[in-house]
């Protein structure tokens, strides 16, 4: 029994490391992550997607090598490489089924990188990986059921159910950004109209801010200039300009409806918001929290769902990818 206790104690303190890779369209970011979710060493390289999938796999392998060298480690010191990739991933085989972003189809990314590095590789969709990272090490800690929404250029979704990543059949689910909330509304890149993404992304904020400017030559938003509008712009002007305030209010309304849908569908203990738009958490969180608690199904009688902001910012991708290997 004392032997068992000793082993348990050893296990509890034993450090484990994984390399987490955040595969983006422009750059590949990577980090050595420990089993507490800390990034110890990190580096990045250009993706060079125009050179094709195999070249990108080589760039990933090169980046892994750089990171291990920085950490003075060998391949035997890490439990594995995790890759968060855009697109639809068959996470069982580590194949990128398709991604518009990189223009790949059925590319066996895990096998390629594993062959180049001699290290085991797991691949997951980037939004799913980020959700797993927040669940294990970040804002989702302590909850069993967590949904993460990444509010960036698009809206990514990641779902953890009962402590496990939920990806749908052949890992093709959890496309929460492509849930229609406004039938017949704004055209989405996916072909549908009125997707959550077309209202709750930074792209939506930019589109609506520009629309507001073009329809109102008097708005103070013109100080910024049409070409300089970014997702932050309407928030910067909301206290001094009615048009800007309207853009923000419309954004909050759509975000709220999307989150309420997610609560009614998944009833997670936590909804975690990530992505650049979350910089505006002081403006966004109070009305969203109020609406979720009052208007989700069952209202205040239903089990509470907290809406929180992600812990990890730029490193969410690396930490989430590494979390595919770490507990």
Dist CA 159 CA 73 (whole Å): 33
> Toward a copy of itself, which CB reaches closer, 46 or 303?
303
Task: Tell me which of 181, 221, 248, 322 binds a copy of itself, using CB under 8 A.
Answer: 181
| Residue 166 Cβ vs a copy of itself, minimum distance, rounded to whole Å | 7
Which of the ranges 8-16, 19-27, 163-171, 220-228 carries the binding residues for a copy of itself, by CB under 8 A?
A: 163-171
Are the CB atoms for 24 and 60 separated by under 8 Å?
Answer: no
> Toward a copy of itself, which CB reaches closer, 81 or 179?
179
| Residue 159 Cβ vs a copy of itself, minimum distance, rounded to whole Å | 8
Dist CA 298 CA 295 (whole Å): 8
Number of residues lying near a copy of itself (CB under 8 A): 49
CB count in 10 Å sphere of residue 61: 21
Tell me the C-alpha to C-alpha distance, in Å, between residue 261 and each of 177, 202, 234, 251.
12, 20, 25, 16
The upper half-sphere exposure of residue 322, i.e. CA atoms within 13 Å in the direction of its Cβ, equals 29
φ, ψ at 196 (rounded to 5°): -45, -45
Tell me the C-alpha to C-alpha distance, in Å, between residue 49 and each of 26, 83, 121.
8, 16, 20
Which of the ranges 21-29, 40-48, 74-82, 179-187 carries the binding residues for a copy of itself, by CB under 8 A?
A: 179-187
The upper half-sphere exposure of residue 110, i.e. CA atoms within 13 Å in the direction of its Cβ, equals 21
Angle at 261 between CA 22 and CA 163, to 5 degrees: 50
> By CB under 8 A, is residue 297 in contact with a copy of itself?
yes
> By CB under 8 A, is residue 290 in contact with a copy of itself?
no
> Toward a copy of itself, which CB reaches closer, 104 or 237?
104
Compute CA 153 distance to the chain's CA centroid, rounded to the nearest angstrom.
Answer: 11
Q: Which two tokens stand for residue 44?
A: 């990045």
| DSSP secondary structure, 192-240, as one string | -BSBTHHHHSHHHHHHHHHHHHHT-TT-GGGGT-GGG--TTHHHHHTTT
Which is nearest to 121 in space by CA: 50, 18, 202, 45? 18
- Identify residues 69-128 at the interface with a copy of itself (CB under 8 A): 88, 97-98, 105
> Toward a copy of itself, which CB reaches closer, 148 or 176?
176
Which of the ranges 23-31, 36-44, 173-181, 236-244 carries the binding residues for a copy of itself, by CB under 8 A?
A: 173-181
- Identify residues 189-208 at the interface with a copy of itself (CB under 8 A): 190-192, 194
- Identify residues 249-278 at the interface with a copy of itself (CB under 8 A): 253-254, 257, 260-261, 264-269
DSSP state of 75: G
| Residue 318 Cβ vs a copy of itself, minimum distance, rounded to whole Å | 26
Which of the ranges 9-17, 188-196, 228-236, 240-248 carries the binding residues for a copy of itself, by CB under 8 A?
A: 188-196
> By CB under 8 A, is residue 16 in contact with a copy of itself?
no
Judged by the rule CB under 8 A, the positions of this chain that interact with a copy of itself are 88, 97-98, 105, 144-145, 157, 161, 166-170, 172-176, 178-185, 190-192, 194, 253-254, 257, 260-261, 264-269, 295, 297-299, 301-303, 305
């Amino acid at each position: 029994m004392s032997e068992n206790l000793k082993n348990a104690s050893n296990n509890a303190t034993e450090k484990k490391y994984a390399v987490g890779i955040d595969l983006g369209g422009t750059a590949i970011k990577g980090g050595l992550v420990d089993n507490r979710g800390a990034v110890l060493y990190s580096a990045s390289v250009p993706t060079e997607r125009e050179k094709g999938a195999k070249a990108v796999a080589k760039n990933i392998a090169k980046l892994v090598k750089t990171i291990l060298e920085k950490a003075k480690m060998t391949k035997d010191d890490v439990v594995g490489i995790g890759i968060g990739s855009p697109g639809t991933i068959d996470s069982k085989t580590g194949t990128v089924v398709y991604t518009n972003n990189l223009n790949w189809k059925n590319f066996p990314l895990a096998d390629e990188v594993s062959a180049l590095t001699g290290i085991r590789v797991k691949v997951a969709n980037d939004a799913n990986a980020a959700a797993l990272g927040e669940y294990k090490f970040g804002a989702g800690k302590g909850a069993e059921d967590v949904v993460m929404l990444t509010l960036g250029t698009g809206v990514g979704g990641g779902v953890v159910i009962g402590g496990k990543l939920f990806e749908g059949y052949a890992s093709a689910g959890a496309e929460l950004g492509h849930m229609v909330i406004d039938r017949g509304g704004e055209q989405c890149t996916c072909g549908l109209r009125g997707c959550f993404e077309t209202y709750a992304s930074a792209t939506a904020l930019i589109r609506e801010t520009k629309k507001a400017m073009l329809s109102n030559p008097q708005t103070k938003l013109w100080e910024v200039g049409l070409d300089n509008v970014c997702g932050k712009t309407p928030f910067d002007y909301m206290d001094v300009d009615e048009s800007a305030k309207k853009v923000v209010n419309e954004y909050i309304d759509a975000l709220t409806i999307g989150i309420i849908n997610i609560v009614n569908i998944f009833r997670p203990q936590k909804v975690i918001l990530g992505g650049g738009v979350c910089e505006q958490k002081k403006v966004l969180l109070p009305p969203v929290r109020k609406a979720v608690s009052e208007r989700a199904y069952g209202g205040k009688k239903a089990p509470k769902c907290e809406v929180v902001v992600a812990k990890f910012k730029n490193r969410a991708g690396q930490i989430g990818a590494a979390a595919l290997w770490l507990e």
